[in-house]
Chain A
Amino acid sequence: MTVVDAPQTQQDVQLHAVPRTFVRSEPPAAEDLDPGSRRVLKAVTAEQSFVQTGAWLASLALTWLIVTRLLPWSGVIAFVLTFFVLGLVMIAVMTALIGGWPEVVDRVMSAVVHGAVILMGVALASTIIFVFVRGWDALPHLNFFTQDMEGVGPRDAFDRGGVLHAIIGSLIQVGIAIVITVPLGIGTAVYMTEIGGRFARIVRTVVEAMTALPSIVAGLFIYTVAIVALGVPSSGLAAALALSVMMLPIIARASDVVLRVVPGNLREASLALGASRWSTVWNVVLPTARPGLATAVILGVARGVGETSPVLLTSGAASFTVLNPTDGVMNSLPLYIFSTVRSGEPLLISRAFAAASVLLALVLLLFVVARLVARPKKGIR
């Protein structure tokens, strides 16, 4: 460590008019080495928080003045927008009093980022809360979950009729779709990652391309092939096929991604111990990837449960409970919501929102389950 020491004598000063660097001959005393406490890097100084609070308060006051007193605008949107823009201006002006241009940009962009996140949060929260609030009229009636809409008129009160038929229909259709897509999807993913080769590359290219298939086109495909050409009636089975066509590339691709991240040395260790390929896949690769595969399947199912457009074209809407998927028209939750909302009858719209709450709750449940499954287990190994 070099330290500039003070020149010792008058002679030194004359000899070296410029200060010289001396090497310290002994180590510094221990008390000089105090490193101090660790600096907090992201601390907000009192000045910063004053500027922030002050800016937003000033903006609030000014917005109230402008929107309610000076200009003929009204409404929540005008108020919030003016408030936000004025707040940015205030922050810019007040920061410019303290610091330079980089600080101004930094503070303003920080406010913009936070504003955007709040907007997204409000949008998501308003979606979920709005659906539950509008559905609350019909939801507390227990019969909503135990009855179907057979013989229930559009103006009947909420203590008659329910969405049991739609819930059952959704479960049956998605169930069939799961039975079709999960073995096919995971099997294809296993083939693409574990066996490989030129054919696997072709399959992967086609599967990835088909994830771009809009769901309505999947529905139209089944409608044209199964219903129009082959004469299969509009039924739960046709809807399940349409859902399968839509879900198959999604699940195959997601499983492929999950299987590809299984570490190669696990496979090699298993093969080096003399295990066959099949036993490596069954005992090493699939168990390692199980949480990821479960997540892929559950998210694919959540997508399938909520998808309206394939079932709109293929299942037809029944108002009564149908248990046999090959036996004519069958309703499902998204389709029930869609068809009742378009009726325009206020009571039916409330029922649609209640059904939407059920659907949303179902999707949320699947989502939470997917998260729990995907979470790495603690305490194992």
Chain B
Amino acid sequence: MSTPSATVLRTEPPRLDADEPRDLEIVQSGADRIFTVTTRAIAATVLVITGGIGIFLASSFIPTIKTYGWGFLTGSTWEPEKDVLGIGSVLVGTFTVAFIALVIAFPLSVLGALYIAEYAPPRLRATLTSLVDLMAAVPSIIYGLWGFFLLQPHASGVAHWLHQHLGWFPLFHVGTDPDKASPQIYNYTASAFIAGIAVAMMVIPMACAVMRQVFAQTPPGEREAALALGSTHWGMIRSVVLPFGRGGIIGGTMLGLGRALGETIAVYLIISPSFDLKLRPLEIGTNTVSALIAGRFSEASDQQLKALLAAGFVLFIITLVINTAAAMVVARSRSGAGADA
């Protein structure tokens, strides 16, 4: 048995100049090395796949611009027979549909998020949140069926009414006479308006989920301070909850916009394709980039396929910019620290 080492009192103070971090020597075990290498390889694979798509799309954008010139972005004709391609009117149509979707979805998602965070009884909150998530999980083709078969007969009537009574407003204009003895409801179907409503159904849950998360984080102290000062419930919401959640409101709306721009199948099911450059959302016929791809890919030649890819690239870049901006707005706002947008 070895003698136990005695504790010796230090006779002089420790030297203080050795105030540097120790060199930690990390010896990885074999399993760790394999683990690191494997996950890095997986990540590299994913990077190659996802990055490759981006590069591939970009690489088809350049020859398209070379062939068709910058007019590809502004031209409003798509005539493969004459080899004249332009996505100007399609871009306008894409934004029209997205704009209508936002006009409908923005107030509804703000109010819905406010209801869940502020008005609903606490025991209902989890259920309502699940319902919003469920609304996001419903496939877009289901919303397409809903829009085409259930909504369209009613919505075209509303469109006719809007045209008849508010036709002086440029956005409500339709190229026919509204007061005909037998109104041609047909002219009000398959429009950007109806497609926009169906897309709104997909935007609402996305935007609503982000806004609800942000509203729920309002500091209780500020909320109670407003109430203690005698504010009404709405007064408290307006002066505390909405300013606090502004980042979430903007960010959520922009995320929804990103979804609205890329939506394909519901739009493709509802609209009747047209290539006129027009801002008459109530009138029959419009087109979006994704519906253009869905409608034209099968008969496209090599060059036109490149043009469709280029159109997809433009759409992707627009969506990417909007999503990035949305993430930045949410992250920078006071409320966004814990929100996952």
Q: B316, B323, B327: which has the most chain A beta carbons within 10 Å?
A: B316
Say whether A200 contacts B50, CB under 8 Å.
no
> A257 near B340 (CB under 8 angstroms)?
yes
Interchain CB contact under 8 A, B315 and A217: yes
CB 8 Å contact bits of A212-240 with B (1 = contact, 0 = none): 11111110110111001000000000000
Which listed residue, A106, A202, A220, touches B47 by the CB 8 Å rule?
A202
Chain B positions within 8 Å of A360 at CB level: 138-139, 142
Q: Report chain A residues within 8 Å CB of B324.
A: 209
Q: Mark B117-144, 1 if CB is under 8 A from A, else 0.
A: 0110000000000110111011111110
- Within 8 Å of chain A (Cβ to Cβ): is B320? yes
Nearest chain-B residue to A187 (Cβ)? Answer: B42
**CB-contacts of B279-330 with A (<8 A):** 290, 293-294, 297, 302, 305, 308-309, 312-313, 315-316, 319-320, 322-324, 327
What residue of chain B has the Cβ atom nearest to residue A362's Cβ? Answer: B139
Interface-located stretch among B5-13, B14-22, B66-74, B259-267: B259-267
A126 within 8 A of B: yes
Identify which of B34, B261, B269 contacts A338 (C-beta below 8 A). Answer: B269
In the complex, chain A residues whose CB is within 8 Å of the CB of B146: 126-127, 130-131
**Listed stretches B172-180, B181-189, B210-218, B228-236; interface member:** B228-236
CB within 8 Å of B: which of A139-196?
183-185, 187-188, 190-192, 194-195
Asked if B137 contacts A363 (CB within 8 A), the reply is: yes
Q: Would you give the 0/1 interface string for B164-203, flagging 1 where the beta carbon is closer than 8 Å to chain A? A: 0000000000000000000000000000000000000100
State the CA gap A313–B295 with chains docked (Å): 10
Asked if A267 is at the interface of the complex by the 8 Å CB criterion, the answer is no
Q: Give Cα distance in the complex from A356 to B146, angstroms.
A: 11
State whether B31 touches A203 (Cβ < 8 A): no
- Asked if A206 is at the interface of the complex by the 8 Å CB criterion, the answer is yes
Q: Max chain A CB contacts within 10 Å: which of B118, B309, B327? A: B309
Inter-subunit contact A114/B261 (CB<8 Å): no
Complex CA–CA separation, A334 to B54 (angstroms): 26
Question: How distant is the Cα of A213 from the Cα of B309 in the complex, in angstroms?
Answer: 12
Q: Is the CB of B145 within 8 A of A337?
A: yes
Interface-lining segment among A7-15, A86-94, A297-305: A297-305
A interface residue numbers (CB < 8 A to B): 73, 75-78, 102-103, 105-106, 109-110, 112-114, 116-117, 119-121, 123-124, 126-128, 130-131, 134, 183-185, 187-188, 190-192, 194-195, 199-200, 202-203, 206-218, 220-221, 223-225, 228, 245, 248-249, 252, 257, 276-279, 281, 299, 302-303, 305-309, 312-313, 334, 337-338, 341-342, 352-353, 356, 359-360, 363-364, 366-367, 371
